[in-house]
Structure formats: structure tokens, C-alpha cells
Amino acid sequence: GEDVEQSLFLSVREGDSSVINCTYTDSSSTYLYWYKQEPGAGLQLLTYIFSNMDMKQDQRLTVLLNKKDKHLSLRIADTQTGDSAIYFCAELWAGKLIFGTGTRLQVFP
């Protein structure tokens, strides 16, 4: 079956950039997503990228897609304590949204 992988933890200092990485296995995915989950809450869509794009920027967020390596990344510029959350990578494959394990981002002062 389809597999989406992420590292479990990332710790950064406030003001630095954060880069969260994700790899997926099926090149036929049409859309790839980044979701944010704050403690005790549901999932909030941050951004998504169509599979024929290489990069998408939205304010402090930059998504890079390397289709050859099946690698997706999310860069958060000027990371703030409010960015502390779990970040999920997901792909739309065969009509289903498949999620990675999530990366817990901790931002320290």
C-alpha cells in the first residue's frame, strides 16, 4: 500500500527557520498537503501543492516538491512559539487522503 513517512520530532529556536521533511512512495499522487494540529484540536490545512509544481510560497511557508525523489518539505520562516504543533504531510492517492506519522515541532525561546 501507499506509504508516507516523516521524522517524529523537530526542535528549533524561536526566530530560526524550521524544515519538516516527508517522503512518499507513489508518484501518481495528484496533490500533496501539509496539515497542522495543535494540542486537543483537529487538523488545519496549511497549504497544498499540485504534483506538477516544484514550489509554492505562502507568507512564512514554503513548500518544495522533488518528484524524482518523492520528497516534500515544509519550511517555516521566522518560527514562533505559536508554531509549536504536530505537522502532517498527506497525499491524495486513488481518491484517498493518506497521512504520514506527523512531526512534532517544538519551538524554544
Partner 1 sequence: NAGVTQTPKFQVLKTGQSMTLQCAQDMNHEYMSWYRQDPGMGLRLIHYSVGAGITDQGEVPNGYNVSRSTTEDFPLRLLSAAPSQTSVYFCASRRFTEAFFGQGTRLTVV
What residue ranges bind partner 1 (CB under 8 A)? 1, 4, 6, 8, 31, 33, 41-45, 48, 88, 92, 95-102
Q: Closest approach of Cβ 107 to partner 1, in Å?
A: 21
Residues in contact with 107: Cβ distance below 8 Å, sequence separation at least 6, in sequence order: 11, 12, 13, 14, 18, 79, 80, 81, 83, 84
- The residue written with cell numbers 505559536 in the block is 82
Task: Closer to partner 1 by CB, 95 or 109: give it.
Answer: 95
Taking the complex as a whole, how short is the minimal distance between the CB of residue 21 and partner 1, in angstroms? 15
CA angle 34, 64, 81 (to 5 degrees): 50
Question: What's the full length of the chain, in residues?
Answer: 109
Closer CB to partner 1, residue 14 or residue 73? 73
Tell me how far, at minimum, the Cβ of 6 lies from partner 1, in Å.
8
